[in-house]
Amino acid sequence: MSRNAESTAFRSALEVIRAVEPRVADAIGAELTDQRESLKLIASENYASPATLLAMGNWFSDKYAEGTVGRRFYAGCQNVDTVEALAAEHARELFGAAHAYVQPHSGIDANLVAFWAVLADRVESPALKKAQVRQVNDLTEADWFALRRELGNQRMLGMSLDAGGHLTHGFRPNISGKMFDQRSYGTDPATGLIDYDRVAEAAREFKPLILVGGYSAYPRKVNFRILREIADSVGATFMVDMAHFAGLVAGKVFTGDFDPVPHAHIVTTTTHKSLRGPRGGMVLCQPELADQVDRGCPMVLGGPLPHVMAAKAVALAEARRPDFADYAQRIVDNANALAEGLLRRGATLVTGGTDNHLVLIDVSGYGLTGRQAEQALLDSGIVTNRNSVPQDPNGAWYTSGIRIGTPALTTRGLGTAEMDQTAELIHTVLTQTTAGANADGTPSKAKYALDAGLADKVARQATDLLATYPLYPGIDLS
């Protein structure tokens, strides 16, 4: 697409929106401005291509399409069949998967599809039938325990939250924590790395139905061959959530033992993050689980979003191009440069570095909580998110860490030299931020002090750093 065509497409879209609700048009334009001017270091965010973005704004949004390709509960789905089949084809070819299901609306939805697909061969129980006529929120712990017993060995073993796991891997705030009796494996306290012998020991003791691999804040590679061997040793289904690092798998940066697709029974992912597509989810699986996975709607999903599936097809087609492999490698190169720059300046990093797209800073060395550091950086034009570190004394809300990642800045074209400059900006802000106090004089985990002049200076430096690497250079909304 020519730059003139991109500008025309987005300007025209905003004109149409503005005629109905100008405040929405203004917010869309402001979001582009904010993203152009900020150092986006949130590890789970990226920038989708103009083609991917435009694929979501069309008449597919008007179509119901429950079911799967060729087997719909609504008539007139031939064009939806086309885009869903294309997205699934691209996914299979890109990841070397036997089967791909591209309907999930998010990563959480993809995980729910996977969980229920694994459970689908369990007997339908009287307890489950009884529960279906009650409000889920009214079920007691005893009710959930009875359901799990009726459904068989409904146990899940996954990475702990403070070690880098995800809420959807069996933790109580998520429905997976109600579905499963969950136990966690952590990391070695000395190194922060997964101890596979301890995982095997936990599996032998707990005997889970599902062993989950994958993470949201673990900065190293995972050996999926070893985890599959552990799963097989206890008769567990091996599931991998690769939402964060799917782009590194697609770009063939993670291969062999570090590519989950050949080793897992079932793999889930988002389609944004390092994969650089639209916000959504996807499930890849072995043939024996395909029929159950394809029942995701209406099992746990609402009607498919055909306009998003169209965008997934576009993004997955982009990921199959040779330049995507170069992009994926540069993500990792940039993350290493960012980690090295922080280490040289005295920062403490969980595991001492990174093998993937993310870096986890323990900000307690700066005398700060994650919440204080996150806000101070945001004041300075650097967008990050707070995150727990292993054995975090501040819990999951205030935290002791900051998670940063390189997919978005790599998309903009920044390289290793710019990562070192970014490390300097981060270090400057954190060293100049001090923890605040509550009204009664006790230490606060949220309040902080940072000179406004310094914050403005760093924000200007961040903007100057980005000026050479414009975001969506082909789009001019003026």
> For position 124, what pLDDT does the model report?
42
In the residue annotation, 447 being an active-site residue is answered as: no
Residue type, 178: K
In the residue annotation, 101 being an active-site residue is answered as: no
Given the residues 66, 81, 89, 424, select the one marked as catalytic. 66
* Residues whose CB is less than 8 angstroms from the CB of residue 41 and which lie 6 or more positions away in sequence, other chains included: 382, 383, 384, 404, 405, 406, 408, 409, 422
What are 235-292's pLDDT values in tens digits?
999 999 999 999 999 999 999 999 999 999 999 999 999 999 999 999 999 998 999 8
CATH of 324-467, one of 3.40.50.2000, 3.30.230.10, 3.90.1150.10, 3.40.50.2300: 3.90.1150.10
Q: How is the chain split into domains, by residue range? A: 59-319, 324-467
In the residue annotation, 273 being an active-site residue is answered as: yes
Do 239 and 266 meet the contact criterion of CB atoms below 8 Å apart? yes
Same fold, 59-319 and 324-467: no
What are 99-128's pLDDT values in tens digits?
999 999 999 999 999 998 888 754 444 444
Given the residues 270, 354, 422, 433, select the one marked as catalytic. 270
Given the residues 36, 148, 155, 273, select the one marked as catalytic. 273
Report, in this order, helix, strand and coil percent for the chain, each rounded to 5: 50, 15, 35
What are 385-440's pLDDT values in tens digits?
999 999 899 998 999 999 999 999 999 999 999 999 999 999 999 999 999 999 88
Given the residues 64, 122, 229, 416, select the one marked as catalytic. 64
What are 301-351's pLDDT values in tens digits?
889 999 999 999 999 999 999 999 999 999 999 999 999 999 999 999 999
d(CA 430, CA 119): 47
> For position 133, what pLDDT does the model report?
44
Angle among Cα 41, 45, 49 to the nearest 5 degrees reads: 115
In the residue annotation, 15 being an active-site residue is answered as: no
Given the residues 279, 371, 386, 445, select the one marked as catalytic. 279
What DSSP character marks residue 442? P
- pTM for the model stands at 0.90
Q: Using CB atoms within 10 Å of the CB of residue 52, give its burial: 0 to 12 exposed, 13 to 18 middle, 19+ buried.
A: buried
In percent, the amount of the chain with pLDDT more than 90 equals: 78
In the residue annotation, 398 being an active-site residue is answered as: no
Place of tokens 């068989």: 152
According to CATH, what is the number of the domain 59-319?
3.40.640.10
In the residue annotation, 374 being an active-site residue is answered as: no
Question: Could you tell me whether strands 358-362 and 348-349 are parallel, antiparallel, or unpaired per DSSP bridges?
Answer: antiparallel
> For position 143, what pLDDT does the model report?
73
